[in-house]
Each structure stands twice: as C-alpha cells, then as structure tokens.
Amino acid sequence: MKTVLISFSISLIISMALIMISTLFSKKTILDREKASPFECGFDPKSTSRLPFSIRFFLIAIVFLIFDIEISILLPLGLTSGSLPPLIWLSGGAVFLMLVTLGLYYEWKENTLDWIS
C-alpha cells in the first residue's frame, strides 16, 4: 500500500511539473480577436465559423447505441443455452427484444426518427 501511495505521489508531482513547464513556455499567451476569428481575406466573417449541432443527429446516434448495446446483451444468450432450459433463455430474450421494439415504436410514433421535420 505504501509503494502505491509513493508511486501515485511521484506521478502526480511529475504531471504537475510538466503542466507548469508547458504553461510557462507556451507560445500562445494571449488570445486576441484577430487570432481567434476565422480567416476570410482580411474581412470580418459574415457568420459564425461553427455550425449548430443537429439534435436529430444526436437522437439517431443514441438509437444506434441502444441497438448496439442490445446486440451485446443478446449475444451471450447463445452461450447460456447449454446451461439453462430453452424456455427460460428464449423467453428472456423475447421479453428483452419486445421492450426494445416497443421503445423503437414509441420513438417512431413521436417522429423522433424523422430526419427532416
């Protein structure tokens, strides 16, 4: 336990020293308006350089993650098929798929999956 504490302290000291040295010797010290703005031939930019984030894209990504996690939950059911009775693991998988399908149906009815609206 003592060696873990000592190694943690040493790594913390080295990390803090590197942060201090990098802030002291960094080239960029002051952000002025000219360097922070996008370059457009010397003129002021017409609009912001960053595009707004699409909430629709975020929701589609969340749906993809849900179905990706669903696959990782359903794959071990095949491994447990030898140790459990088939009725138990089939009913468990069917209930899980039914819940995910009901969630997808709810999102479809709420028009969450429509890209243009």
Reading the block at residue 10, the tokens are 């040493």
Q: What is the DSSP string of 52-87?
A: PPPHHHHHHHHHHHHHHHHHHHHTHHHHGGGTS-HH
**pLDDT top residue among 101 and 42:** 101
pLDDT tens sequence across 63-116:
788 888 888 888 887 777 777 787 888 888 889 889 888 988 888 888 877 766
Torsion of CA 17, 23, 27, 30, to 10 degrees: 180
